[in-house]
Chain A
């Protein structure tokens, strides 16, 4: 992926700052809760949701299993419809292809449809380096771009910003890019949208080249599909003369009919709408297109691999490629809600980012080695995913990769990777715990030791345990383990049985007093 995020701190450090930012947390909380409730209602309307989900999963799995075949079919269909197909193995190659295509038109400006793939490869930066200005036209992307910021959500890239912040960004930055914001701009959403519209309109009308991604590509017909809700996308897709679409190879589906599933599941999962407002489909250059009709007279499709084939080689991890980028998993994720999107160090934040980035980029960097741990495994993401990606399963699989190493595919070659750095102490602790737990005698002795040390229980623990005692009390330790209570009871029971045989003397079974809560002892600090 792009270099923009390299050198990111590990997830826990990046998240720490976000957790302490009260405004950010409030913004995120409000936005994610609103959308998650709406999504639940929109999904509940469909009686056959479970079947749609299973169907979406099946279509994606089938396509991934025969990806080579469907990509070749797609190439043939796009070519037959007048488009040109380019293959890009990685970000550099994709950026080079797009830059050359733009330069060949003689243009120095492009308008962009919101696209995850071009963010993933850092296309805007690459174009800028070649002297080409790329204008984002999606409202939220525009906010991010004008604010010299990074997106923090797949669908709502500026989710971390509130209205006041957006007003300030518009007022300060719009003039530098084109039409300035109106004098005395307020923070009413409608006013802000109008300012953006006026600013963007001149870009749409002037641009000769557009760059987009696509939500789906149909192998059978060569059709590309973009879902959006503002109409800016349709402007970009129809007004400019040249259209360049950069699309991940996993976005292909076999037939036009397959779209029927995703036309229902994607909008409901992402924006909680029954249907998204603008669904634009284009098939190369049809007879009505070209210079005299609607749509571009030149169409280029750049098929992007950038780690996807390697991900596909992994039996457990490959299910991440089913993702249709609806962002439902972000909106329900309690970790995302507190940590914010930037902490994930990638254009793919949240649960899907935690499993996708370490696969596309490898688990070598600090951020990528900590991403699989950026989850409590609560399972909320799996529950909402419209293509049933078992995100917790992949997280566990990647955790194994981080601490134990093992076989992975890198650039098409099967290699064994070593465990990520910094797990030596943890590994030793896990081994020690395992040995203790696997020897009940030792375990019992350990429990007794713990019980004896209960009076010494410190309020703050040293080492990694400090993370617990920083914000929580330690549990009260009991005087006896359950094991000891049981053994005493058994013994008393046997003795009682023995005595009952001898005579009717009554003996109470041994009683273990449970530990008293702290407040009873008046010991609360």
Chain B
């Protein structure tokens, strides 16, 4: 099977480890991974801040970059949600306002082919045990877009539960937003920090070594708070845990425990 990786702009520039983990994981599971170089940002920061027109060229770029692929996999719930819930509407609005002919059909064509990583693993590949090994205690934060917009449900936690050596601890108030919210973190910094601090306090209370999530934007916010506080746990993307094996553990993580 062949799949294209939509790594997303945040992962590309700041969290390449997540993209590398996805490649390793998928290749281990027998998937041939392509990385179309024309890809960029999905346009979520622009769109969510109210700049719909600024998002239009990015919608076009993303839809065109992945035009030939049956499966497009992304390790970001919020970017998958952006494409699934908003691309068609943005395309239609652009056409209605006399810009971007053909954008609606192009965007709409991409929507059913985009999979968040855990959806791809569980629904398309049909695996929950990906053969990973990670001998640590982990608590999982289901980010809002994964939880509510995509409805990932049990998928991430079932994948984690099947990892050898891993002990999953329930996160109190797991379904509450972490307070990142894209530009919300900058536009409403006080409320954002208050929400993030409550979330990290819950994570610390589990006694886990790792706060796992499937969205590096939320994790950047939470890990930033954890590090500022000198808290005894670190945020780690789900893909890195699923990619870890006895031979190739998560790099740079051993020092924590």
Report A's interface with B, CB cutoff 8 A.
11-12, 15-16, 19-20, 25, 334-335, 338-339, 370, 372-380, 382-383, 396, 399-404, 426-427, 430-431, 433-434, 437-438, 440, 443, 446-447, 450, 464-465, 467-468, 470-475, 477-478, 480-486, 512-520, 524
Contacts across chains A and B counted by CB atoms under 8 Å: 206
Which of B38, B40, B86, B177 gathers most chain A CB within 10 Å?
B177
Report which of B45, B194, B223 forms a contact with A433, defined as CB distance below 8 A: B45
A339 x B191 contact (CB < 8 A): yes
A-B contact pairs, 25 of them (CB 8 A): A12-B188, A12-B190, A16-B190, A335-B188, A375-B184, A376-B179, A378-B177, A380-B177, A403-B50, A403-B51, A427-B51, A430-B46, A430-B51, A433-B45, A433-B54, A437-B40, A440-B38, A446-B13, A472-B224, A473-B227, A473-B228, A475-B223, A486-B23, A515-B252, A520-B252
Report which of A373, A401, A430, A481 forms a contact with B184, defined as CB distance below 8 A: A373
Q: Please name all residues of chain B whose beta carbon is closer than 8 Å to the beta carbon of A16 when the two chains form the complex.
A: 190
Query: DSSP majority for the B interface?
Result: helix
- Chain B interface bracket (under 10, 10 to 19, 20 to 34, 35 or more): 35 or more
Closest to A316 in B: B89
Given that A440-B38, A520-B252, A520-B255 are contacting pairs, would A404 and B184 also be in contact in the complex, using a CB cutoff of 8 Å? no
CB distance from B112 to the nearest CB of A (A): 21
B144 x A378 contact (CB < 8 A): yes
Q: Please name all residues of chain A whose beta carbon is closer than 8 Å to the beta carbon of B184 when the two chains form the complex.
A: 373, 375-377
B228 x A377 contact (CB < 8 A): no
B16 at the interface (CB under 8 A from A): yes
A19 x B190 contact (CB < 8 A): yes
> How far apart are the CA atoms of A401 and B53 in the complex, in Å?
12
Given that A467-B189, A483-B12 are contacting pairs, would A19 and B256 also be in contact in the complex, using a CB cutoff of 8 Å? no
A524 x B230 contact (CB < 8 A): yes
CB distance from A29 to the nearest CB of B (A): 9
B149 at the interface (CB under 8 A from A): yes
CB distance from A337 to the nearest CB of B (A): 8
> How far apart are the CA atoms of A329 and B61 in the complex, in Å?
36
B225 x A471 contact (CB < 8 A): yes
Given that A468-B186, A472-B225, A517-B256 are contacting pairs, would A375 and B40 also be in contact in the complex, using a CB cutoff of 8 Å? no
Q: Please name all residues of chain A whose beta carbon is closer than 8 Å to the beta carbon of B194 when the two chains form the complex.
A: 19, 25, 338
B16 x A478 contact (CB < 8 A): yes
Given that A467-B185, A471-B225 are contacting pairs, would A438 and B61 also be in contact in the complex, using a CB cutoff of 8 Å? yes
> How far apart are the CA atoms of A427 and B50 in the complex, in Å?
10
